[in-house]
Structure 1
Amino acid sequence: MVWGGGGIRIFATPYVLFRYSRCTIFVGKRRFVPMETFDDEEFGTVQVRPDSRARRLIFRVKEGVMQITCPTGYSLGRVQTIVDENRERLRRLMVRGEVVQQRRQLTVGDRIPCYGGHIELLSGRLPDCILFRYEGTTLQVLCPPGTDLNEPRVRQQLSRGVCRLMYRRAQEVLPRRLAEVARRVGASPREVTIGRGRRKLGHCTRSKSIQLSYCLMFLPEPLIDYVICHELAHLQQMNHGPQFHALCNRYCGGEELALRKQLRAFTFLF
Protein backbone atom coordinates (compact mmCIF):
# COMPACT_ATOMS: atom_id res chain seq x y z
CA MET A 1 0.00 0.00 0.00
CA VAL A 2 1.31 3.44 -0.94
CA TRP A 3 0.04 6.71 0.46
CA GLY A 4 -0.61 9.46 -2.06
CA GLY A 5 -1.14 13.14 -1.54
CA GLY A 6 -4.33 14.50 -0.05
CA GLY A 7 -5.04 11.37 1.96
CA ILE A 8 -5.56 9.24 -1.16
CA ARG A 9 -4.63 5.58 -0.73
CA ILE A 10 -3.19 3.80 -3.73
CA PHE A 11 -3.12 0.00 -3.76
CA ALA A 12 -0.66 -1.34 -6.33
CA THR A 13 0.07 -4.87 -7.52
CA PRO A 14 2.07 -6.05 -10.55
CA TYR A 15 -1.20 -6.57 -12.40
CA VAL A 16 -3.63 -3.79 -11.60
CA LEU A 17 -3.83 -0.39 -10.00
CA PHE A 18 -6.84 0.66 -7.95
CA ARG A 19 -6.96 4.34 -7.03
CA TYR A 20 -9.31 4.99 -4.13
CA SER A 21 -10.54 8.57 -3.86
CA ARG A 22 -13.91 9.90 -2.88
CA CYS A 23 -15.74 8.41 -5.81
CA THR A 24 -13.39 6.96 -8.41
CA ILE A 25 -11.57 3.69 -9.00
CA PHE A 26 -9.46 3.10 -12.08
CA VAL A 27 -9.16 -0.52 -13.15
CA GLY A 28 -6.35 -1.27 -15.57
CA LYS A 29 -5.63 -4.38 -17.56
CA ARG A 30 -5.27 -7.54 -15.47
CA ARG A 31 -3.39 -10.72 -16.17
CA PHE A 32 -5.38 -13.88 -15.88
CA VAL A 33 -4.36 -17.05 -14.08
CA PRO A 34 -3.70 -19.72 -16.74
CA MET A 35 -5.80 -22.87 -16.66
CA GLU A 36 -5.73 -26.09 -18.63
CA THR A 37 -7.97 -26.30 -21.68
CA PHE A 38 -8.92 -28.80 -24.34
CA ASP A 39 -10.99 -28.49 -27.51
CA ASP A 40 -14.17 -30.53 -27.76
CA GLU A 41 -15.89 -30.98 -31.14
CA GLU A 42 -19.32 -30.30 -29.62
CA PHE A 43 -18.67 -27.92 -26.72
CA GLY A 44 -15.72 -25.95 -28.10
CA THR A 45 -12.94 -24.86 -25.76
CA VAL A 46 -13.39 -26.41 -22.31
CA GLN A 47 -11.59 -24.86 -19.34
CA VAL A 48 -10.34 -27.17 -16.59
CA ARG A 49 -9.25 -25.82 -13.21
CA PRO A 50 -7.77 -28.19 -10.60
CA ASP A 51 -8.79 -27.42 -7.01
CA SER A 52 -7.35 -29.17 -3.97
CA ARG A 53 -10.67 -28.65 -2.13
CA ALA A 54 -12.75 -30.37 -4.84
CA ARG A 55 -13.94 -33.91 -4.15
CA ARG A 56 -15.70 -34.40 -7.49
CA LEU A 57 -16.04 -32.73 -10.87
CA ILE A 58 -18.14 -29.56 -10.97
CA PHE A 59 -19.47 -28.41 -14.34
CA ARG A 60 -20.70 -24.90 -15.06
CA VAL A 61 -21.24 -22.71 -18.10
CA LYS A 62 -20.05 -19.12 -17.89
CA GLU A 63 -20.19 -16.64 -20.75
CA GLY A 64 -20.94 -19.54 -23.10
CA VAL A 65 -17.81 -21.47 -22.06
CA MET A 66 -17.89 -24.80 -20.25
CA GLN A 67 -15.79 -24.68 -17.09
CA ILE A 68 -14.85 -27.76 -15.09
CA THR A 69 -13.44 -27.79 -11.58
CA CYS A 70 -11.76 -31.08 -10.76
CA PRO A 71 -9.81 -32.59 -7.84
CA THR A 72 -6.06 -32.12 -7.99
CA GLY A 73 -4.39 -34.99 -9.82
CA TYR A 74 -7.03 -35.48 -12.50
CA SER A 75 -5.46 -35.64 -15.96
CA LEU A 76 -7.02 -33.95 -18.98
CA GLY A 77 -7.59 -37.38 -20.48
CA ARG A 78 -9.58 -38.49 -17.45
CA VAL A 79 -11.67 -35.31 -17.56
CA GLN A 80 -12.34 -35.79 -21.29
CA THR A 81 -13.50 -39.35 -20.64
CA ILE A 82 -15.98 -38.12 -18.01
CA VAL A 83 -17.23 -35.46 -20.45
CA ASP A 84 -17.82 -38.17 -23.08
CA GLU A 85 -19.74 -40.29 -20.56
CA ASN A 86 -22.04 -37.40 -19.61
CA ARG A 87 -22.66 -35.68 -22.94
CA GLU A 88 -26.45 -35.73 -22.77
CA ARG A 89 -26.52 -34.03 -19.37
CA LEU A 90 -23.86 -31.56 -20.46
CA ARG A 91 -25.86 -30.67 -23.57
CA ARG A 92 -28.76 -29.66 -21.33
CA LEU A 93 -26.36 -27.68 -19.17
CA MET A 94 -25.06 -25.81 -22.22
CA VAL A 95 -28.61 -25.00 -23.36
CA ARG A 96 -29.48 -23.60 -19.93
CA GLY A 97 -26.23 -21.64 -19.99
CA GLU A 98 -27.09 -20.13 -23.37
CA VAL A 99 -30.50 -19.01 -22.08
CA VAL A 100 -28.91 -17.39 -19.03
CA GLN A 101 -26.23 -15.78 -21.20
CA GLN A 102 -28.89 -14.17 -23.38
CA ARG A 103 -30.51 -12.71 -20.27
CA ARG A 104 -27.13 -11.44 -19.09
CA GLN A 105 -26.20 -9.48 -22.22
CA LEU A 106 -25.02 -5.95 -21.41
CA THR A 107 -24.98 -2.89 -23.65
CA VAL A 108 -23.86 0.70 -23.22
CA GLY A 109 -26.81 2.69 -21.92
CA ASP A 110 -28.13 -0.05 -19.64
CA ARG A 111 -29.39 1.18 -16.27
CA ILE A 112 -29.46 -1.74 -13.86
CA PRO A 113 -31.21 -1.53 -10.48
CA CYS A 114 -29.26 -2.34 -7.33
CA TYR A 115 -30.14 -1.88 -3.67
CA GLY A 116 -30.44 1.84 -2.98
CA GLY A 117 -29.56 2.99 -6.49
CA HIS A 118 -28.57 1.96 -10.00
CA ILE A 119 -25.59 0.80 -12.05
CA GLU A 120 -25.30 2.75 -15.29
CA LEU A 121 -23.15 1.57 -18.22
CA LEU A 122 -21.76 4.48 -20.23
CA SER A 123 -19.23 5.08 -22.99
CA GLY A 124 -16.12 6.80 -21.64
CA ARG A 125 -13.15 8.52 -23.25
CA LEU A 126 -10.16 6.62 -21.86
CA PRO A 127 -9.03 3.89 -24.30
CA ASP A 128 -7.33 1.44 -21.95
CA CYS A 129 -9.35 1.20 -18.76
CA ILE A 130 -12.80 0.99 -17.24
CA LEU A 131 -13.66 3.86 -14.92
CA PHE A 132 -16.04 3.51 -11.98
CA ARG A 133 -17.49 6.55 -10.23
CA TYR A 134 -20.48 7.43 -8.09
CA GLU A 135 -22.93 10.15 -9.03
CA GLY A 136 -25.24 10.29 -6.05
CA THR A 137 -26.68 6.80 -5.63
CA THR A 138 -25.79 5.78 -9.20
CA LEU A 139 -22.63 3.80 -9.89
CA GLN A 140 -21.48 4.91 -13.33
CA VAL A 141 -19.27 2.52 -15.31
CA LEU A 142 -17.42 4.31 -18.12
CA CYS A 143 -16.12 1.85 -20.70
CA PRO A 144 -13.59 2.47 -23.51
CA PRO A 145 -15.26 3.61 -26.75
CA GLY A 146 -16.46 0.73 -28.91
CA THR A 147 -15.98 -1.88 -26.20
CA ASP A 148 -17.93 -5.13 -26.47
CA LEU A 149 -19.19 -5.44 -22.90
CA ASN A 150 -19.95 -9.14 -23.40
CA GLU A 151 -16.45 -10.13 -24.53
CA PRO A 152 -15.35 -12.53 -21.74
CA ARG A 153 -12.28 -10.63 -20.53
CA VAL A 154 -14.04 -7.27 -20.62
CA ARG A 155 -17.04 -8.76 -18.83
CA GLN A 156 -14.78 -10.25 -16.18
CA GLN A 157 -13.01 -6.92 -15.60
CA LEU A 158 -16.28 -5.04 -15.47
CA SER A 159 -17.86 -7.52 -13.07
CA ARG A 160 -14.82 -7.51 -10.82
CA GLY A 161 -14.93 -3.73 -10.45
CA VAL A 162 -18.69 -3.58 -9.86
CA CYS A 163 -18.53 -6.39 -7.30
CA ARG A 164 -15.69 -4.72 -5.37
CA LEU A 165 -17.74 -1.57 -5.00
CA MET A 166 -20.95 -3.42 -4.17
CA TYR A 167 -19.11 -5.34 -1.44
CA ARG A 168 -17.96 -2.08 0.14
CA ARG A 169 -21.46 -0.63 -0.10
CA ALA A 170 -23.03 -3.81 1.28
CA GLN A 171 -21.00 -3.50 4.47
CA GLU A 172 -22.71 -0.18 5.11
CA VAL A 173 -26.32 -0.87 4.15
CA LEU A 174 -27.13 -4.58 4.54
CA PRO A 175 -26.60 -4.75 8.33
CA ARG A 176 -29.01 -1.82 8.67
CA ARG A 177 -31.55 -3.57 6.47
CA LEU A 178 -31.29 -6.75 8.52
CA ALA A 179 -31.73 -4.76 11.75
CA GLU A 180 -34.94 -3.21 10.38
CA VAL A 181 -36.39 -6.58 9.36
CA ALA A 182 -35.30 -8.18 12.66
CA ARG A 183 -37.12 -5.48 14.65
CA ARG A 184 -40.24 -5.98 12.53
CA VAL A 185 -40.39 -9.75 13.12
CA GLY A 186 -39.06 -9.67 16.69
CA ALA A 187 -35.79 -11.54 16.08
CA SER A 188 -32.41 -10.82 17.71
CA PRO A 189 -29.26 -12.04 15.91
CA ARG A 190 -26.02 -11.79 17.88
CA GLU A 191 -24.00 -10.25 15.06
CA VAL A 192 -24.14 -9.60 11.32
CA THR A 193 -21.26 -9.89 8.86
CA ILE A 194 -20.99 -9.50 5.09
CA GLY A 195 -19.48 -12.29 3.01
CA ARG A 196 -18.47 -12.76 -0.61
CA GLY A 197 -20.40 -15.94 -1.38
CA ARG A 198 -22.12 -16.13 -4.74
CA ARG A 199 -23.95 -19.43 -4.35
CA LYS A 200 -24.82 -19.08 -0.65
CA LEU A 201 -26.60 -15.75 -0.14
CA GLY A 202 -27.02 -16.14 3.61
CA HIS A 203 -25.82 -18.25 6.51
CA CYS A 204 -26.83 -18.57 10.17
CA THR A 205 -24.73 -20.25 12.86
CA ARG A 206 -25.78 -21.92 16.09
CA SER A 207 -24.19 -19.00 17.94
CA LYS A 208 -26.90 -16.81 16.31
CA SER A 209 -24.51 -15.00 13.97
CA ILE A 210 -25.80 -14.22 10.49
CA GLN A 211 -23.72 -13.67 7.39
CA LEU A 212 -25.22 -12.06 4.29
CA SER A 213 -23.59 -12.10 0.87
CA TYR A 214 -22.84 -8.80 -0.82
CA CYS A 215 -24.63 -10.28 -3.86
CA LEU A 216 -27.90 -9.31 -2.19
CA MET A 217 -27.12 -5.82 -3.46
CA PHE A 218 -28.19 -6.97 -6.94
CA LEU A 219 -31.59 -8.28 -5.81
CA PRO A 220 -34.87 -6.35 -5.64
CA GLU A 221 -35.83 -5.37 -2.09
CA PRO A 222 -38.53 -8.06 -1.59
CA LEU A 223 -35.96 -10.78 -2.36
CA ILE A 224 -33.38 -9.17 -0.06
CA ASP A 225 -35.94 -9.27 2.73
CA TYR A 226 -36.80 -12.88 1.87
CA VAL A 227 -33.17 -13.97 2.31
CA ILE A 228 -32.97 -12.02 5.56
CA CYS A 229 -36.22 -13.57 6.85
CA HIS A 230 -34.91 -17.02 5.91
CA GLU A 231 -31.80 -16.52 8.03
CA LEU A 232 -33.73 -14.93 10.91
CA ALA A 233 -36.00 -17.98 10.99
CA HIS A 234 -32.90 -20.13 11.44
CA LEU A 235 -32.28 -18.39 14.77
CA GLN A 236 -35.12 -20.54 16.13
CA GLN A 237 -35.11 -23.46 13.71
CA MET A 238 -31.71 -24.71 12.53
CA ASN A 239 -33.26 -26.92 9.86
CA HIS A 240 -35.61 -26.75 6.89
CA GLY A 241 -38.49 -28.67 8.44
CA PRO A 242 -42.18 -27.72 8.56
CA GLN A 243 -41.76 -25.53 11.66
CA PHE A 244 -38.96 -23.59 9.98
CA HIS A 245 -41.01 -22.95 6.84
CA ALA A 246 -44.06 -21.95 8.90
CA LEU A 247 -41.96 -19.39 10.77
CA CYS A 248 -40.23 -18.12 7.63
CA ASN A 249 -43.58 -17.84 5.86
CA ARG A 250 -44.93 -15.77 8.76
CA TYR A 251 -41.89 -13.49 8.61
CA CYS A 252 -42.49 -13.12 4.84
CA GLY A 253 -46.14 -12.19 5.23
CA GLY A 254 -47.32 -15.49 3.75
CA GLU A 255 -45.22 -15.11 0.58
CA GLU A 256 -42.33 -17.49 1.28
CA LEU A 257 -43.04 -19.91 -1.58
CA ALA A 258 -43.62 -17.18 -4.17
CA LEU A 259 -40.46 -15.33 -3.11
CA ARG A 260 -38.41 -18.52 -3.19
CA LYS A 261 -39.51 -19.15 -6.79
CA GLN A 262 -38.64 -15.58 -7.76
CA LEU A 263 -35.18 -15.93 -6.23
CA ARG A 264 -34.49 -19.18 -8.10
CA ALA A 265 -35.49 -17.52 -11.37
CA PHE A 266 -33.41 -14.38 -10.79
CA THR A 267 -30.45 -13.82 -13.14
CA PHE A 268 -27.40 -12.08 -11.68
CA LEU A 269 -25.75 -9.80 -14.23
CA PHE A 270 -22.44 -9.52 -12.35
Structure 2
Amino acid sequence: MFPSFLRNPTRVAKKPDLSESRELFVAGRTVALAIRENRRATRITLRIEPGGRGLKMTVPKGIRRGEVNDFIERHRGWLETKLARFSGETKIGAGGTIPLRGVPHRIVHTGQIRGTTEAVIEGGEPLIRISGLPEHAGRRLSTFLKKEARHDLERLVAIHTGRLGKPANGLALKDTRSRWGSCSWNGNLSFSWRIVMAPPEVIDYLAAHEVAHLKEMNHGPQFWALCKRLCPGTEAAKDWLKRHGSELHALDFD
Protein backbone atom coordinates (compact mmCIF):
# COMPACT_ATOMS: atom_id res chain seq x y z
CA MET A 1 0.00 0.00 0.00
CA PHE A 2 1.29 3.41 -0.89
CA PRO A 3 1.79 5.98 1.87
CA SER A 4 -1.20 8.28 2.31
CA PHE A 5 0.75 11.34 1.16
CA LEU A 6 1.07 9.81 -2.32
CA ARG A 7 -2.65 9.20 -2.85
CA ASN A 8 -3.26 12.72 -4.18
CA PRO A 9 0.06 13.88 -5.66
CA THR A 10 -1.57 16.82 -7.49
CA ARG A 11 -2.84 18.53 -4.32
CA VAL A 12 -1.50 22.10 -4.01
CA ALA A 13 -0.98 23.70 -0.62
CA LYS A 14 -3.45 26.52 0.04
CA LYS A 15 -1.88 29.97 0.04
CA PRO A 16 -2.02 31.62 3.44
CA ASP A 17 -4.44 34.53 3.93
CA LEU A 18 -2.54 37.80 3.41
CA SER A 19 -4.81 39.75 5.77
CA GLU A 20 -2.69 41.40 8.45
CA SER A 21 -2.04 44.55 10.44
CA ARG A 22 1.25 46.38 10.40
CA GLU A 23 2.68 49.84 11.07
CA LEU A 24 4.22 52.29 8.60
CA PHE A 25 6.40 55.28 9.39
CA VAL A 26 5.02 58.05 7.16
CA ALA A 27 5.09 61.86 7.39
CA GLY A 28 7.05 61.79 10.62
CA ARG A 29 4.78 59.44 12.52
CA THR A 30 3.72 55.82 12.81
CA VAL A 31 0.43 54.94 11.12
CA ALA A 32 -1.52 51.69 11.49
CA LEU A 33 -2.12 49.80 8.23
CA ALA A 34 -4.82 47.12 7.98
CA ILE A 35 -4.49 44.80 4.96
CA ARG A 36 -7.53 42.70 4.04
CA GLU A 37 -7.98 40.17 1.23
CA ASN A 38 -11.20 40.31 -0.75
CA ARG A 39 -12.05 37.64 -3.30
CA ARG A 40 -14.09 40.17 -5.30
CA ALA A 41 -11.25 42.69 -5.54
CA THR A 42 -9.46 42.91 -8.89
CA ARG A 43 -6.77 45.41 -7.85
CA ILE A 44 -5.08 46.86 -4.78
CA THR A 45 -6.82 49.85 -3.20
CA LEU A 46 -5.47 52.02 -0.39
CA ARG A 47 -7.67 54.33 1.70
CA ILE A 48 -6.80 56.86 4.38
CA GLU A 49 -9.11 56.68 7.39
CA PRO A 50 -10.94 59.90 8.42
CA GLY A 51 -8.60 62.24 10.25
CA GLY A 52 -5.55 60.34 8.99
CA ARG A 53 -5.91 57.92 11.92
CA GLY A 54 -4.96 54.87 9.91
CA LEU A 55 -4.77 53.19 6.50
CA LYS A 56 -6.89 50.43 5.00
CA MET A 57 -5.68 48.36 2.07
CA THR A 58 -7.83 45.89 0.13
CA VAL A 59 -6.03 43.31 -2.00
CA PRO A 60 -7.18 40.55 -4.40
CA LYS A 61 -7.22 36.98 -3.10
CA GLY A 62 -3.92 35.16 -3.55
CA ILE A 63 -1.76 38.21 -4.25
CA ARG A 64 1.93 37.92 -3.35
CA ARG A 65 3.29 39.82 -0.36
CA GLY A 66 6.01 41.30 -2.58
CA GLU A 67 3.39 42.96 -4.77
CA VAL A 68 1.81 44.54 -1.69
CA ASN A 69 5.15 45.88 -0.50
CA ASP A 70 5.95 47.25 -3.97
CA PHE A 71 2.57 49.01 -4.08
CA ILE A 72 3.21 50.68 -0.73
CA GLU A 73 6.64 51.92 -1.81
CA ARG A 74 5.31 53.26 -5.14
CA HIS A 75 2.66 55.26 -3.29
CA ARG A 76 4.80 56.43 -0.39
CA GLY A 77 5.13 59.93 -1.86
CA TRP A 78 1.34 60.19 -2.18
CA LEU A 79 0.94 59.05 1.43
CA GLU A 80 3.53 61.57 2.64
CA THR A 81 1.63 64.40 0.97
CA LYS A 82 -1.80 63.35 2.20
CA LEU A 83 -0.82 62.45 5.77
CA ALA A 84 1.27 65.59 6.22
CA ARG A 85 -2.05 67.44 6.66
CA PHE A 86 -2.64 65.47 9.85
CA SER A 87 0.90 65.35 11.23
CA GLY A 88 0.47 68.45 13.39
CA GLU A 89 -0.99 68.75 16.87
CA THR A 90 -4.70 67.88 16.84
CA LYS A 91 -5.35 67.92 20.59
CA ILE A 92 -7.87 70.62 21.46
CA GLY A 93 -7.28 72.86 24.47
CA ALA A 94 -6.92 76.39 25.80
CA GLY A 95 -4.82 78.60 23.55
CA GLY A 96 -5.73 76.65 20.45
CA THR A 97 -8.20 77.45 17.71
CA ILE A 98 -11.34 75.63 16.68
CA PRO A 99 -13.89 76.41 13.94
CA LEU A 100 -17.52 77.01 14.85
CA ARG A 101 -19.89 77.25 11.87
CA GLY A 102 -16.84 77.77 9.69
CA VAL A 103 -15.38 80.65 11.72
CA PRO A 104 -12.09 80.05 13.62
CA HIS A 105 -12.50 80.74 17.37
CA ARG A 106 -9.63 81.04 19.82
CA ILE A 107 -10.11 78.92 22.93
CA VAL A 108 -9.73 80.90 26.16
CA HIS A 109 -9.74 79.45 29.67
CA THR A 110 -11.51 81.76 32.13
CA GLY A 111 -9.53 80.53 35.13
CA GLN A 112 -12.76 79.83 36.97
CA ILE A 113 -13.72 76.40 38.30
CA ARG A 114 -17.40 76.83 37.52
CA GLY A 115 -19.10 78.50 34.60
CA THR A 116 -20.62 77.94 31.19
CA THR A 117 -18.87 77.41 27.88
CA GLU A 118 -19.84 80.14 25.44
CA ALA A 119 -18.92 81.68 22.10
CA VAL A 120 -18.35 85.43 22.29
CA ILE A 121 -16.78 88.29 20.34
CA GLU A 122 -14.21 90.32 22.26
CA GLY A 123 -12.36 93.16 20.57
CA GLY A 124 -13.60 91.91 17.24
CA GLU A 125 -12.10 88.44 17.80
CA PRO A 126 -14.28 85.30 17.97
CA LEU A 127 -13.59 83.37 21.18
CA ILE A 128 -14.87 80.29 22.94
CA ARG A 129 -14.61 80.78 26.70
CA ILE A 130 -14.38 77.70 28.89
CA SER A 131 -14.08 77.22 32.64
CA GLY A 132 -13.21 74.23 34.85
CA LEU A 133 -9.93 72.38 35.11
CA PRO A 134 -7.61 72.72 32.07
CA GLU A 135 -7.46 68.94 31.61
CA HIS A 136 -11.24 68.91 31.12
CA ALA A 137 -11.17 71.50 28.32
CA GLY A 138 -11.64 68.98 25.51
CA ARG A 139 -14.65 67.39 27.15
CA ARG A 140 -16.26 70.76 27.86
CA LEU A 141 -15.68 71.87 24.27
CA SER A 142 -17.19 68.72 22.77
CA THR A 143 -20.23 69.06 25.06
CA PHE A 144 -20.64 72.67 23.90
CA LEU A 145 -20.33 71.70 20.22
CA LYS A 146 -22.90 68.92 20.61
CA LYS A 147 -25.36 71.40 22.10
CA GLU A 148 -24.77 73.85 19.23
CA ALA A 149 -25.03 71.07 16.64
CA ARG A 150 -28.37 69.90 18.04
CA HIS A 151 -29.71 73.46 17.96
CA ASP A 152 -28.75 73.91 14.29
CA LEU A 153 -29.78 70.47 13.06
CA GLU A 154 -33.16 70.38 14.80
CA ARG A 155 -34.01 73.73 13.20
CA LEU A 156 -32.79 72.72 9.72
CA VAL A 157 -34.42 69.30 9.81
CA ALA A 158 -37.73 70.95 10.75
CA ILE A 159 -37.40 73.29 7.76
CA HIS A 160 -36.56 70.54 5.26
CA THR A 161 -39.13 68.02 6.53
CA GLY A 162 -41.72 70.78 6.29
CA ARG A 163 -40.83 71.28 2.63
CA LEU A 164 -40.83 67.54 2.03
CA GLY A 165 -44.12 66.99 3.84
CA LYS A 166 -42.68 63.97 5.64
CA PRO A 167 -41.59 64.19 9.31
CA ALA A 168 -38.55 62.54 10.85
CA ASN A 169 -39.10 60.08 13.67
CA GLY A 170 -36.13 61.28 15.75
CA LEU A 171 -32.72 62.94 15.70
CA ALA A 172 -29.53 61.61 17.30
CA LEU A 173 -25.98 62.94 17.47
CA LYS A 174 -22.97 60.62 17.21
CA ASP A 175 -19.22 60.83 16.65
CA THR A 176 -19.06 58.61 13.58
CA ARG A 177 -15.87 58.62 11.49
CA SER A 178 -17.11 56.71 8.43
CA ARG A 179 -20.11 58.90 7.58
CA TRP A 180 -21.55 62.31 8.41
CA GLY A 181 -25.13 61.18 8.77
CA SER A 182 -27.63 58.41 8.25
CA CYS A 183 -31.36 57.77 7.95
CA SER A 184 -32.89 54.51 9.18
CA TRP A 185 -35.79 52.70 7.54
CA ASN A 186 -38.17 54.00 10.25
CA GLY A 187 -37.19 57.65 9.81
CA ASN A 188 -34.61 58.13 12.55
CA LEU A 189 -31.90 60.61 11.53
CA SER A 190 -28.36 60.53 12.90
CA PHE A 191 -25.67 63.16 12.46
CA SER A 192 -22.04 63.62 13.44
CA TRP A 193 -21.95 66.54 15.87
CA ARG A 194 -18.62 67.61 14.33
CA ILE A 195 -20.55 69.05 11.38
CA VAL A 196 -21.23 72.17 13.50
CA MET A 197 -17.61 73.16 12.87
CA ALA A 198 -18.34 73.41 9.11
CA PRO A 199 -19.78 76.50 7.40
CA PRO A 200 -23.57 77.00 7.74
CA GLU A 201 -24.24 76.04 4.12
CA VAL A 202 -22.52 72.69 4.69
CA ILE A 203 -24.57 72.01 7.83
CA ASP A 204 -27.70 72.84 5.83
CA TYR A 205 -26.65 70.41 3.08
CA LEU A 206 -26.15 67.56 5.55
CA ALA A 207 -29.59 68.14 7.06
CA ALA A 208 -31.17 68.23 3.59
CA HIS A 209 -29.26 65.08 2.53
CA GLU A 210 -30.60 62.97 5.38
CA VAL A 211 -34.10 64.41 5.14
CA ALA A 212 -34.15 63.50 1.43
CA HIS A 213 -33.55 59.90 2.47
CA LEU A 214 -36.93 59.93 4.22
CA LYS A 215 -38.41 59.71 0.71
CA GLU A 216 -35.54 58.23 -1.32
CA MET A 217 -33.60 55.52 0.54
CA ASN A 218 -30.83 55.39 -2.05
CA HIS A 219 -28.35 57.62 -3.86
CA GLY A 220 -29.96 57.42 -7.27
CA PRO A 221 -30.83 60.28 -9.65
CA GLN A 222 -34.18 60.95 -7.94
CA PHE A 223 -32.49 61.25 -4.56
CA TRP A 224 -29.93 63.79 -5.79
CA ALA A 225 -32.61 65.78 -7.59
CA LEU A 226 -34.60 65.98 -4.35
CA CYS A 227 -31.47 66.84 -2.33
CA LYS A 228 -30.65 69.71 -4.70
CA ARG A 229 -34.23 70.93 -4.53
CA LEU A 230 -34.02 71.09 -0.74
CA CYS A 231 -30.47 72.50 -0.81
CA PRO A 232 -29.42 74.27 -4.05
CA GLY A 233 -25.84 74.47 -2.76
CA THR A 234 -25.48 70.69 -2.61
CA GLU A 235 -22.51 70.38 -5.00
CA ALA A 236 -20.44 73.10 -3.32
CA ALA A 237 -21.15 71.63 0.13
CA LYS A 238 -20.20 68.10 -1.02
CA ASP A 239 -16.93 69.47 -2.37
CA TRP A 240 -16.20 71.26 0.93
CA LEU A 241 -16.71 68.08 2.93
CA LYS A 242 -14.52 66.13 0.54
CA ARG A 243 -11.67 68.64 0.93
CA HIS A 244 -11.99 69.52 4.62
CA GLY A 245 -14.06 66.82 6.32
CA SER A 246 -11.05 64.77 7.43
CA GLU A 247 -9.61 67.81 9.20
CA LEU A 248 -12.66 67.96 11.44
CA HIS A 249 -12.47 64.23 12.14
CA ALA A 250 -8.80 64.59 13.11
CA LEU A 251 -9.46 66.97 16.03
CA ASP A 252 -8.97 65.22 19.34
CA PHE A 253 -11.27 66.22 22.22
CA ASP A 254 -10.34 63.36 24.59
Residue of structure 1 aligned with 2:175, choices 187, 196, 208: 196
Pairs within 5 Å for 1:1-270: 40=25, 44-48=28-32, 60=48, 67-68=54-55, 82=68, 85-99=71-85, 112-115=98-101, 119-122=105-108, 134=116, 136-138=118-120, 139-140=128-129, 162-252=141-231, 254-266=232-244, 267-268=247-248, 270=251
CA distance in 2, matches of 1:39, 1:216: 30
In the alignment, residue 177 of structure 2 is paired with which amino acid? R
Q: CA deviation digits over 1:119-142, x for unaligned, max 9?
A: 42237779xxxx996454343258
For structure 2, which runs of at least 5 residues remain unmatched after alignment? 1-20, 39-44, 58-64, 121-127
Q: CA deviation digits over 1:195-235, x for unaligned, max 9?
A: 22133111011212111111111111111110111111111
Structure label with greater radius of gyration: 2
1:199–1:223: structure 2 CA closer, same or farther, 3 Å change rule? Answer: same
The alignment partner of 2:78 has SS state of: helix
How many equivalent pairs are there?
210
The alignment partner of 2:177 has SS state of: coil
CA distance in 1, matches of 2:225, 2:90: 34
Identity across aligned pairs (percent)?
20
CA distance in 1, matches of 2:111, 2:88: 28
CA distance in 2, matches of 1:48, 1:108: 29
CA distance in 2, matches of 1:47, 1:226: 32
The alignment partner of 2:172 has SS state of: strand
In the alignment, residue 239 of structure 2 is paired with which amino acid? K
CA distance in 2, matches of 1:206, 1:249: 22
1:260–1:103: structure 2 CA closer, same or farther, 3 Å change rule? Answer: farther
* Conserved 8 A contact 1:175-1:193: no
Tell me the CA shift for residue 185 of structure 1.
Answer: 4.5
The alignment partner of 2:75 has SS state of: helix
The alignment partner of 1:239 has SS state of: coil
Root-mean-square deviation (CA), in Å? Answer: 4.7
In the alignment, residue 181 of structure 2 is paired with which amino acid? G
User: In the alignment, what sits opposite 2:42?
Assistant: none
For structure 1, which runs of at least 5 residues remain unmatched after alignment? 1-35, 71-78, 146-153
User: In the alignment, what sits opposite 2:3?
Assistant: none
CA distance in 2, matches of 1:116, 1:236: 30
TM-score calculated relative to the size of structure 2: 0.60
The alignment partner of 1:226 has SS state of: helix
* Conserved 8 A contact 1:132-1:140: no
CA distance in 1, matches of 2:22, 2:141: 28
CA distance in 2, matches of 1:83, 1:164: 43
Instruction: Identify which of structures 1 and 2 has the higher relative contact order when contacts are C-alpha pairs closer than 8 Å and 6+ apart.
Output: 2
Tell me the CA shift for residue 257 of structure 1.
Answer: 1.6
TM-score calculated relative to the size of structure 1: 0.57
* Conserved 8 A contact 1:37-1:45: no
In the alignment, residue 260 of structure 1 is paired with which amino acid? K
